A and B are shown apart, each in its own frame.
Chain A
Amino acid sequence: MKIVIIGNGMVGYKFCEKMIAKATPGTVELVVFGEEPRPAYDRVHLSAFFSGKTAQDLEMAPASWYIDNNIRLHLGDPVQSIDREHKTVHSHKGFTETYDYLVMATGSAAFVPPIPGVDKKGVFIYRTIEDLELMLDYAPKATTGAVIGGGLLGLEAAKALLDLGLQKTHVIEFAPRLMPRQIDDNGSRLLQGKLETLGLQVHTSKQTTAIVGDDVITGLQFADDSILEADMLVISAGIQPRDELARLCGLEIGHRGGIVVNDQLQTTDPFIYAIGECALYNGMIYGLVAPGYEMAEVVATHILGDHKAFTGFDMSTKLKLIGVDVASFGNPFTPADQCRSIVFEDTMKGIYKRINITPDGQHLLGGILIGDADAYNMLLQTAKNKVILPPNPEDVLLGARGGQEAAGAGVLGLPDDATICSCENVSKAAICNAVIDGHETLDAVKKCTKAATCCGGCAPMVKDLITSTMKSQGKYIRNVICEHFDYSRQELFDLVKIKELRSFDTVLDHYGHGEGCEICKPTVASILASLWNEMILAKGNDTAQDSNDRYLANIQKGGTYSVVPRVPGGEITPRQLMVIAQVAEKYNLYTKITGGQRIDMFGAHVSDLPLIWEELVAAGFESGHAYGKALRTVKSCVGSTWCRFGLHDSVSFAIQIEQRYRGLRAPHKLKSAVSGCIRECAEAQSKDFGIIATEKGWNLYVCGNGGSKPQHALLLAGDVDSATCIRYIDRFLMFYIKTADPLTRTATWLNKLDGGIEYLRNVVVNDSLGIAAQLESEMQVLVDNYKCEWKEVVDSPELRKRFSHFVNAPEEKDPTVQFENLREQKKAANWAK
């Protein structure tokens, strides 16, 4: 089947796109003739050309797209005649093509009223990129611009003149108001006021009678004999369907132009279709892109043998005019005796809203929004789908007030077949199904359904649908842990505490299903540790621990582990350094000083871990919990014991703090530091909790973070004594542990906390929730229960047994482990491949 398309505008292009998508590859031959020299571009956003976009940016698809899809594209070559008898077209450049079906997408031209002087220099129309290029050339010579036409396109053209740098721009409208087809007098008045503050002069009820000037325009003359000086004019007084070709070959044309089409968009010749702004359907020309796209859809479907009819199109529209939202939907002009109106006007903010509802208050008929059109999509769908209005219909305009529930059911209240994206005709059901199929971001949904890819006006609604659909599926948005537990971490924490559950299996039995996974297992293990602080490798809980916790060491490249003994406050004796040196040499470990004032030993075989720790424990070392979501290090500067600036003994306080909270497991790792003076050498303000000495005591900062998103800690309490400081830290840490989501650092937790640091300070310092004493006693239980878990492993033959590579050859090490030499030490071999 061979189809010839005359016209390569937005609608002509869309027809090609739809045919490619619908037809079996190789069965349809498409030939396109376009009058303009470039492939179809986005005419709706034409004014973006003046704010920096290139012609290429505006392309619907690059020339290569046509090649890739085997479409023969003749650009700059308008069709001259159609021979209906032989089903052929002849082009300006002399090509002849036969067709099985012909699709006319010739669009429209700017309507230029017969005013004397329209041919003067400096008078332009606003339709194609060529028109824009001509304006661009001329604009530097001009200072005062004028636009004839205060409709949608006219205001776009006025914006273009502003963008071109004309100091003054006038808009002349024949009707008594701007955008007479879309908005009412009040709306127009408000819009006019807004536009005038942005540098546009608006003249309504003005009829232009002549364009003044010799060869070049110097001004406009009006019917009331007034004259307006202007040296550049854009005429945007409406559109005229490009029907001359159809007229020439004898197709029926409407009285005021337009190719007459039926429900299938067929012209009076059933093999010739007309779509877009050249088509006259039911006495009407549809001058918007969305109905054009719908026509393309109908024709593509019909040619391929399926039934689909065009039944008219809603002319609702929303746009941003020079930064001002303007929207009208449904029927904004229902006569007063057939509806009731609710009007909201705020001249302070420049907002005007009007809705028309049925006399019984049940349904929305249409309306106008100016200055704030956020509710456009919702209102449009409410009107189109005849959704029942809330008892106080004004709520849909103003939102629910006085502590009432939210107005209506929102986007979820719409029926499945509600059109969300009217440009691409995508239904609510199509979007929800895409989300259910796993397209859970706006980009993914756009790619999958094409919704929100044209004007983008429905994007907020699509986002709402993604969120609500995911919510209805119990996805992460509901904040449940994973598919095995339908609870948030905080909920599960409370449940485990109340039921006094102590193993992963019992928690799974009570509150979960399935076998668990790598998300819920460590989360539950962490909750159990934060509640009871029992040995984490106790039978049953060992395999619920995250990979590193399970071997009490950090797995590194190649499958060996690193070992970090605790060095509280960073204070270490020469004797202890010697022990570390001996152990590292004996087990051939790479050593490095960490960022937290400790020493890390890398490259330990799993079976060597208990042996290494046996020696470390014997020398008085304890686990540093570098492998756990637990307290890591409390870094310190040397403080008043040596430093000439030091105010207090920061090292001693750091050691006290580190020993208090060592082994404390939390939703994420915890880092701390103590600085002896305001010079802050310990960098305490980058820690989860940091302490800085003051003349009078300590300043306590919380919720700082290094890492990929650094964030400074905020002052929680100032000038407190050591005991108070520790009490506040107890409360702060326990409150965080009880309420944070899994793997959430304190900084992120605070960012999500309603009320932020003020709220946190109220809870921790002022005890606004009355839980301070409880938090402190819960922390004390954990402090009292602390045992070094590595000492427990070293002392337990049963636990030591788990530290072997081969279950059936425990004395053998993994033969695949390889090291390379580097600066007199070793390093892990690189990843394979």
Chain B
Amino acid sequence: MSLHNTATINWFFACKVEDVPANGGVCVKYLDEQIALFHFPRRNEWYATQNLCPHRQQMALSRGMTGTQGGEPKVACPFHKKSFSLVDGRCLSDDTECALNTYPVKIEDDRVYIGIVNGRDTETVMA
């Protein structure tokens, strides 16, 4: 994502690595936002998206099952099993569904940080 390279990113501390279940997700509170954070230890990868499933507006994606589709990491919402790519947030099971907002993640000393791109307006990105 070129946006991340050019804009300043504010990294905030989300939790410790051990707080996130292997091959699963947790919900992180950031100001008034809810961010879903996922750990793929087999690939040593981390992903973060909005916690809100756009399908029925449910705060649930962090409780979804993670996995891959054709090698691409994804999460399935626990409500109606809509699948979203964790790479770019697009819905994999329904072309007409809105895409998820995604966030960069970095790990330092077993601490997980989620990046908030400065000045980025959540509403605009979602629209």
Contacts and interface: CB of A to CB of B under 8 A. Distances in A.
Interface stretch (B3-11, B68-76, B100-108, B118-126): B68-76
A539 B18 CA distance: 12
A640 B27 CA distance: 53
Given A521-B67, A816-B59, 8 more contacts: A517-B68, A559-B58, A559-B59, A802-B21, A807-B20, A809-B29, A814-B59, A832-B56
Interface residues of A, number: 38
Interface stretch (A206-214, A452-460, A550-558, A674-682): A550-558
Given A558-B58, A807-B28, A547 B65 contact: yes
A371 to B, nearest CB: 48
Contact of A543 (B21, B29, B69): B21
Contacts of B29: 806, 808-809, 812
Contacts of A832: 56-57
A808 B28 contact: yes
Contacts of B74: 517
Instruction: For chain B, give the interface size range.
Output: 35 or more
B115 interface: no
B87 interface: no
Contacts of B79: 555
Given A805-B27, A806-B29, A515 B20 contact: no
A519 to B, nearest CB: 8
Main SS at interface, chain A: loop
A137 B8 CA distance: 85
A544 B66 CA distance: 9
Contact of A517 (B21, B40, B76): B76
Given A515-B73, A518-B81, A559-B59, A806 B65 contact: no
Question: Which interface residue of A505, A514, A555 has the most chain B CB atoms within 10 A?
Answer: A514
A710 interface: no
B83 interface: yes
Contacts of B71: 514
Identify the 10 closest CB pairs spanning chains A and B, nearest first: A547-B78, A543-B24, A517-B67, A832-B57, A807-B26, A518-B76, A515-B68, A518-B65, A806-B29, A514-B68
Given A542-B24, A543-B22, A547-B64, A807 B59 contact: no
Contacts of A514: 67-68, 71
B63 A551 contact: yes
A518 B63 contact: no
A517 B65 contact: yes
A540 B19 contact: no
B37 interface: yes
Interface in A809-829: 809, 812, 814, 816-817
Nearest to A542: B21
A690 B103 CA distance: 52
B27 to A, nearest CB: 6
Nearest to A809: B29
13 contacts: A483-B69, A515-B66, A517-B68, A517-B74, A517-B83, A518-B76, A542-B21, A543-B21, A547-B64, A548-B78, A555-B63, A807-B14, A808-B28
A549 to B, nearest CB: 10
A466 B74 CA distance: 29
A483 B68 CA distance: 9
A522 to B, nearest CB: 8
B40 A833 contact: no
B65 to A, nearest CB: 4
Contact of A515 (B21, B40, B57, B78): B40
A37 to B, nearest CB: 43
Contacts of A547: 63-65, 78
Contacts of A505: 23, 42
Contacts of B26: 807
A546 interface: yes
A515 B28 contact: no
A265 to B, nearest CB: 42
Contacts of B40: 515
Contacts of A518: 64-65, 67, 76, 81, 83
B117 interface: no
B42 to A, nearest CB: 6
A511 to B, nearest CB: 15
A831 B65 contact: no
A806 B59 contact: no
A570 interface: no
A697 interface: no
A555 B61 CA distance: 12
A543 B64 CA distance: 9
A180 interface: no
B26 to A, nearest CB: 4
Nearest to B40: A515
A417 B99 CA distance: 42
B60 interface: yes
B116 interface: no
A525 to B, nearest CB: 10
A833 B58 CA distance: 12
A219 interface: no
Contacts of B58: 558-559
A514 B15 CA distance: 27
Contacts of A802: 21
A808 B71 CA distance: 30
B69 to A, nearest CB: 7
A516 B40 CA distance: 11
A546 B24 CA distance: 12
Given A558-B58, A816-B59, A831-B57, A515 B43 contact: yes
B23 A515 contact: yes
Contacts of A548: 78
A539 B21 CA distance: 8
Contacts of A483: 69-70
Nearest to A540: B22
Nearest to A807: B26
Output the residue of A504, A548, A550 with the most chain B CB within 10 A.
Answer: A550
Interface in A483-518: 483-484, 504-505, 514-518
Contacts of B22: 539-540, 543
A558 B69 CA distance: 28
Contact of A555 (B43, B57, B66, B78): B78
Contact of B15 (A543, A555, A807): A807
Contacts of B19: 807
A516 B56 contact: no
Contacts of B37: 807
A521 to B, nearest CB: 6
Contacts of B34: 806, 814, 816
A238 to B, nearest CB: 54
B73 to A, nearest CB: 7
Contacts of A812: 29
Contacts of B43: 515
Contacts of A504: 23
Contacts of A544: 23, 65
